Each structure stands twice: as C-alpha cells, then as structure tokens.
Amino acid sequence: MRDRIRSVVRTIRRRFVPGDDDGDLAERTVKSGMWVSAMNVLDRVLKVVMFIVLARLLGPEAIGLMGIALLTISALLSLTNLGIDAALIQRVDDDVDDYLNTTFTLELLRGLLMSSILYLAAPSLASLFGEPAARDLIRAIALVPIFLALRNPAMVYFKKDLAFHKEFAYRVSGTTAYVVVALGYAAVSPTVWALIFGYLADAGVRSVATYFLHPYRPRPALNRAYAAELIGYGKWVTGSSIVEFLYGQGDDAVVGWLLTATSLGYYQLAYRISNAPATEIAVVVSSVMFSTYSKLQEDQRALREAFFSTFRLTAFVALPMSVGIYLVAPAFVGAFLGADWLPMVLAMQILVAYGLFRTLFATFNPVWRAVGRPDVQTKLGFLRVALLAVAIVPATSAYGIEGTALAVTGILAFPMVPLYAREMKRTLDTTYRRFLRELSYPVAASGAMAMAVLAAQNRVGSPLVEFALLVAIGVVAYVVSAASLMTLFDWRVKQNLRELVSVMSK
C-alpha cells in the first residue's frame, strides 16, 4: 500500500510539477501555467465567496471604507515599487543569489518608510475622502508594508524558475488566512474590521510561508553596484507601476473623492466581479509568460509564435467569459448579493468590456519587458492616464459610477487598442491581419453563445434558477460553436489545446 501511494505521488509530481529536468521549455511553461491557473481560480473562488458573504453582512458603505484604506496602500506600493523582481527575472543568469541580500535590504528600507508615511498621513488621507472613519483603518494596514518587506527575497525563484507550485502554496496560504480570519471576525462582529484583520493575516502568513518554501536565509547587506544595476532596470517598471495604479485604481480614487463610500463600494464590487476573468488570466499570463519570453528574447520568430499561441488561448477563454458576465449580471446580483446591490449592475456590465481589453493586453506587456523594452508599456500608460484625467472627473460628476465606467472603458477602446496593436506589430514584425484572424473565431463562437443566452432570459422567476440556467446554456452553446469552428476552419487553438493535453498526460 505504501509503495502504491509513493508511486501515485511520483506520478503527480512528474505530470504537474515543473522541474529542472524538464528540458522542454513549452512543457515547463504549460505545467507552470496549470499551477498559476489553479492558484488563481482557487484564490478567486475563496475571495468571491468571502466578499459575497461579507457584502450581504456589511453593506456597500463598509466595502467602500475598506476600499479607501486599500487605495492608500496601493498608491504607496506603486509609487515606491523598485522593480527589483522584474530585473532579477529578466536576467539571463539562472543564479541570482548574489543579489538577494541587497534586494532584502532595499525592500526593508522601503517597507519601513511606507509604514511610517501611512501611519502619519492617515488623518489627512481620511479627510481627503471625506470619511473620518477611514483614519484608523489606514493606520491598521500600515503594518502590511513591513510584512511584505520581511518576505524571503529568494521567492523570486518561484517565477524565474517557473516553480509555480511554490507560488501556489505562497498565494493560497495567505488567501486562506484572509478568508478564515475575515469570516470568523464577521461572525462575531460584522464590521469593516473583519476585512482589515483578514488583510493583515493574509500579508503576515504569506511572509512566513516564503521561509518554508525556500531554504535561502537573507541578511541585511547593501552592495551599491548591485543596487544601482537593479534599480537601473527597475526604473521603468517603477514608472509602469505608477501608471498602472493611476489607470487601474485612479477611477476608484475619483469615485471615493467625488461621490461617497457607498458609491465606491458599488463601483469596486462591480469592478471586482466584472473583471474577475481579466484579473486571473492577466496574472497567469504575466507571471508565466514573462519568464518564458525572457528565455526566447534572442529568437524573434520563436517569440512571435509563443506570443500568438498565448494570445489565441487567452481570447478563446476571455471572450466567452466576458460576454457571459455581461448577460448574467442582473441575475447574479439579484441571486447572490441582494437588492441593496442592484444599483451596481449597469456599471458592472460596462466594465466587462474594460476587463476584456485588459485581458488581451496582458499578453502584450510581458513581451516588451522580456525584450528589455518596459518603457513601451510605461509610455503608453502615461498617455492613457493623461486622457483619463481629462475625461473621468466630468463623466463621474455627470453620470455617477456609470460615467466612471464609461470613461475608463471608452479610452481603453480608443485610442489605446490601436496604439497597443501598432507597437506589438513593430516589436514582433507581424501584421494587423494576424491579430484580426486570431480574434475572429472566438468572436463568432461567443456571438452564437450570446444569442442562445438571450433567447433563454426572463423565462423563470427566481434569479438563482435563472442564473444557473443561463450559465449552463452559455457553456453548452460556446462549446458546440467552438467545436464546429475547429472542424470547419483552421482555428489553431485546436492544436494548442492538444498540446496542453499532451503535456498534461506526460
């Protein structure tokens, strides 16, 4: 019996754990992608369940207050992001141990500085949003930067070596702590502090987990040459991080500033749900493919084909999920969140398009970073922020959270989509026709799915039953439509799926 168990364990490790002896980069990438996908699905499911429960218990205002606290720490994390991990992953050398003590020291200094700023500035930040109750919340989460700074810097190897089974353990351990603490506290005292203590537990557990997952033990030491090298590469990542915050959470800041905590609660939950597929797919692609693309940076043809395989699979999954979320949004909110949350439905539907664009662009950014051009992402991001700054305040003032959603989505659709496509065309020496060809098949299959779902809407009285019915019809319709297109035309996603199955079966 013991030998049989050992045999099963060895088989699981061989099939699902990417090791150094996996010589085929594609195989290691697929196995890593499986781990990141599993990690993000589990992470998302746990958090969605938690937020649904807490949304019903706490209400929109409490979710909005937590949103204000998270906005402050996210802003500071972005402003001080040194880009060190990206610099270490991008290096061709497999061994970066010499840099780790310097990394640890830089991050520790950054964490102490951030915590001090957050604690001292908490009253002013709360006043800025017109929510005095946010002051103590901001001061409480000021501990988080210290927890993050104390992580083992060798966790960079999780991504550099495509060892995402360790990243899985790291992420899921924190999320589990978040959910258990938040729900446990809310059961005793249903206040916004349930989310605060859950967030602190998440950061603390993850920090401890890094030392169980890698044997390296850092110590404070600063090598100026190494620091200059890392920060020299990371400056564009820092700029990109700031830009990503401005166009990723600048809308939250405007809603919190111009409207109310309740409006922010509506907007943030609408964004969280509508962009769930975008967020998870983007994390998978950026985590796995940056490392993979970095290893192909000197072979443009191989890099181009790797990119389009990723783009093809991303569109295959993201398009039907986005269309599906748009169609079932009213039934979902009514069934799971309750009538108090119905005002967020229209904003949620608008933000679905934003999430779809985000998902597709997630395949672009790792390429630019891998070929040593993170400046492309940063420059395009600055343009996007500038356009958003002009449009978002009047749109929000005039139309509320729906105006905010229209502003962020409209600017991403035009002019950013054509500009992103143009820059990637130049980087990979490809054509616009190829982009359109890769998108045409999932668009057609998703259109057929949408017609089937629309035909079944409003057939039953219960929101929960309607939601389940629409999801089932949508899944069946898309599978049938996609299978038909694979049979009739040369949709190469069929080959990609076979390769995935082949790698999984090894």
Residue 156 has pLDDT above 80, yes or no: yes
Q: Where are the domains of the chain?
A: 27-235, 259-505
Rounded to an integer, what distance in angstroms lies between the CA atom of residue 98 and that of residue 84? 13
User: Which two three-digit tokens encode residue 13?
Assistant: 């490790």
Q: Which residues have CB under 8 Å from 331's CB, separation 6+?
A: 463, 464, 466, 467, 470
Can you tell me the distance from the alpha carbon of 237 to that of 374, in angstroms, rounded to the nearest whole number? 7
Q: Which residue, 276, 329, 353, is CA-closest to 49?
A: 276
The amino acid at 7: S
What pLDDT does residue 63 have?
A: 93
Distance CA 109, CA 115 (A): 10
DSSP state string for 446-457: HHHHHHHHHHHT
Cβ atoms of residues 30 and 504 within 8 Å: yes
Residue 395 near residue 256, CB atoms below 8 Å? no
Q: How far apart are CA 202 and CA 37, in angstroms?
A: 20
State residue 502's pLDDT score. Answer: 62
Token representation of residue 302: 């191989």
- Model pLDDT, residue 95: 82
Q: Can you give the pLDDT at residue 5?
A: 44
Q: DSSP letters along 139-161, please?
A: HHGGGHHHHHHTS-GGGHHHHHT
pLDDT over 70 at 390, yes or no: yes
- Structure tokens belonging to residue 24: 């085929």
The answer to whether residue 369 scores a pLDDT higher than 90 is: no
pLDDT score of 13: 46
13-22, 51-60, 455-464, 489-498: which range is least confident on average? 13-22
Q: Does pLDDT of 285 surpass 50?
A: yes
Q: Which residue has the higher pLDDT, 399 or 10?
A: 399
* Rounded Cα–Cα distance for residues 74 and 87 (Å): 21
Measure Cα distances from 375 to 29, 119, 152, 371 in Å: 25, 33, 28, 11
pLDDT reported for residue 295: 66
Q: Do residues 348 and 274 make contact, with C-beta atoms less than 8 angstroms apart?
A: yes
> Residue 57's CB: how many other CB atoms inside 10 A?
14
pLDDT digits (tens, 9 = 90+) for 376-386: 887 898 899 89
Asked if residue 101 lies in contact with residue 224, where contact means CB atoms within 8 angstroms, the answer is no
Handedness of CA 149, 295, 298, 503 (dihedral sign): negative
pLDDT digits (tens, 9 = 90+) for 188-213: 999 999 999 999 999 999 999 999 99
Q: Determine the average pLDDT of the residues in 277-305.
A: 68
Tokens representing residue 157 in the block: 């190897």
C-alpha 37 chain-centroid distance: 11
pLDDT band (50, 70, 90) for residue 36: low
Give CA–CA dist 75/252, Å, rounded. Answer: 11
Which residue is it, tokens 């780790």?
A: 100
CA distances to 150, 311, 313, 357, 494 from 498, rounded to whole Å, are 42, 16, 12, 26, 6
Range from 41-55, 90-104, 389-403 that averages highest in pLDDT:
389-403
The pLDDT assigned to 219 comes to 92
Q: Is the pLDDT of residue 82 over 60?
A: yes
The encoded tokens of residue 425 equal: 């065309």
Mean pLDDT of the chain: 86
Smallest Cα–Cα separation from 353: which of 280, 420, 270, 285? 270
Q: Give residue for tokens 């196995």.
A: 31
Alpha carbons 37 and 27: distance in angstroms, whole number: 15
Task: Report whether pLDDT(42) > 90.
Answer: no
Residue 99 structure tokens: 């840099």
| DSSP category for residue 460 | S
Burial class of residue 21, CB neighbours in 10 A (0-12, 13-18, 19+): exposed
> How many angstroms separate the CA atoms of 327 and 471, rounded?
9
Radius of gyration of the chain (CA): 23
Distance CA 29, CA 18 (A): 8
The DSSP line for 270-287 is: HHHHHTHHHHHHHHHHHH
> Which conformational region is residue 17 in: left (phi greater than 0), alpha (psi within -120 to 50 degrees), or beta?
beta
Distance, CA of 155 to CA of 400 (rounded, Å): 42
- pLDDT for 41 equals 73
Cβ atoms of 348 and 406 within 8 Å: the answer is: no
Reported confidence tier of residue 35, pLDDT bands at 50, 70, 90: low
CA-CA distance, 359 to 351, in Å (whole number)?
12
Instruction: Evaluate the omega torsion of the peptide bond into residue 343 and state whether it is cis, within 30 degrees of 0.
Output: no
Query: Residue 469 has what pLDDT?
Result: 94
pLDDT of residue 433 exceeding 80: yes
Closest Cα partner for 234 from 89, 75, 116, 112?
89
